Amino acid sequence: MPEKVVVIGAGPVGSLAALYAAVRGHDVEVYEFRPDLRDPETVPLNFAKSINLALSERGINSLRQTGLKDLTNAVLGETFPMHGRMIHTRKQGQNVREPQLYDARGKSLLAMDRTVLNKTLLDHLESLPNVHLFFNHKLVGADFKNHTAWLEHHTPSSSSPTETEIKFDLLIGADGAHSAVRYHLMKFVPMSYQQEYIDKLWCQFHIPPTASGGFRLPPNYLHIWPQDNAMFIALPNLDQTFTATLFLARSDFAQLDASSTVVEYFAQKFPGVVPDLITEDALRTQYATNQHLPLISIKCSPYHFGAAGVIVGDAAHAMVPFYGQGMNAGLEDVRVLFDFLDKHPHDRAAALREYSQQRTPDAQTINDLALRNYQEMATDVKKPMYLLRKWIEETLDLYVPGAGWATQYSRVTFSNMRYSEVREAEQRQARILNLVVGLAVVSLVGSGFWFARAGGVQRVERGFWKSVCWAARGMNGIVRG
């Protein structure tokens, strides 16, 4: 039976949630605080800016599950494939580019502009007769026991907003990290809540095409300039430009602000950027004009109250962008939520309860992985041991597929395996690799013992038993883990 579903937030996650509800025959109302971003006169709010998207299997699968084939095709038609990372470093005085493929089987990430994705979803929403869009509406109150919400309607022509009361059967909060829905939900459910602003800010830059209209860099890569405590990345766009982002500690931004040495800093840290990709004047202008914005990680639980309200996307689990999963996880939230609603068509409370129970550990896992992945992007990608482990895991994936071996990155990015199960699989693989390495060391030392020259036997023997003890301690740790 059709119900009234209200969605707060008309970003990509909220728009997809509205589509899922609409194709199931519900009457859907979408309320958005901002003006319609499809209006050319709409100026994006500062906090609405977003780092470019990397659309992966989870997001694509969630689009497919709407059953709207034309929607999926329209979105994919606006993407640009990235086969891997291109690592930019300086070696022996030379600027060096080193590609690292994402996946041993050739799978790719898809770069996409967030605004283009949002506009595409809104266009499809507006074409459905059972969907109504309301912009410039701010949620100011919600009573989840009585299924009532209050919104203020702001218009440029009016000095004071008008308040509207609405009723709903289900209210879905997709209104971002600073969610009003979550705030009001906390009044009805004892919600655990944790937020962390990490010691990194980000600033966006634009890399234009060449004079002839081509890309200034190999286009099918996520370009990374890794510098441990700093990082510069660039994602390709369909118009032969790149959207680039600087990640830097707050204190380092403050030093650059005070010293006005941004060009010198880029020349030292990020080889080949200035002036080959961005001119000195353009770099100074963009650094001064574009905001230096914070990065937040949010965890909370549960995500729902009874049968009346639920939060998805950044409202439930905002994360830092270093795994490229924020938007993908939000879109997957919608698919998982409606899977449970379909499973319990006559018991929405059970559906929302199971959604919270399953999705919370998964979302908190990818939050943690995203925080840790800065280390991989900014530091580990330069290290031989990281590359060796990646090669071993990809080789096993290719040549021993029955073993079910894969890199953590491939499972996160190119599968729909639950995030919590990805972490468990990675931990099992790590224990096995540690055991194999330990046994290999013992074997090598043992071989050296038998082939040692006379007179060196005692020294080799002492080394052998030290190695055995080391391996035993490592294996004991593996067993305990």
Helices marked H in 143-261: 180-185, 250-259
Give the other-Cβ count within 10 Å of 67's Cβ: 11
Q: For 405, phi and psi rounded to 5 degrees?
A: -90, 140
d(CA 202, CA 319): 14
Percentage of the chain beyond pLDDT 90 is 76
d(CA 332, CA 113): 18
pLDDT digits (tens, 9 = 90+) for 103-113: 988 999 999 99
Fold for the domain defined by 4-78+113-191+302-374 = FAD/NAD(P)-binding domain (3.50.50)
**Which residue is associated with the tokens 């280390």?**
375
Give the relative orientation of helices 348-378 and 326-343 as an angle to the nearest 10 degrees: 160
d(CA 230, CA 340): 42
CATH node for 80-110+195-295: 3.30.9
Q: For 6, phi and psi rounded to 5 degrees?
A: -105, 130
Residue 442 has a pLDDT of 67
Tokens at 119, concatenated: 């506009």
Which sequence spans correspond to the domains of the chain? 4-78+113-191+302-374, 80-110+195-295, 384-480
pTM here is 0.89
Give the other-Cβ count within 10 Å of 22's Cβ: 23
Q: What is the pLDDT along the chain (481 residues), one digit of tens a residue?
A: 789 999 999 999 999 999 999 999 999 999 999 999 999 877 654 434 456 899 999 999 999 999 999 999 999 999 999 999 999 999 988 999 999 999 988 999 999 999 999 999 999 999 999 999 999 999 999 999 999 999 999 887 778 899 999 999 999 999 999 999 999 999 999 999 999 999 999 999 999 999 999 999 999 999 999 999 999 999 999 999 999 999 999 999 999 999 999 999 999 999 999 999 999 999 999 999 999 999 999 999 999 999 999 999 999 999 999 999 999 999 999 999 999 999 999 999 999 999 999 999 999 999 999 999 999 998 999 888 888 888 888 888 888 887 888 889 999 999 999 999 999 998 888 888 777 766 766 666 666 555 555 455 555 455 544 554 454 444 444 333 4
The DSSP element (H or E) to which 76 belongs, if any, is helix 69-76
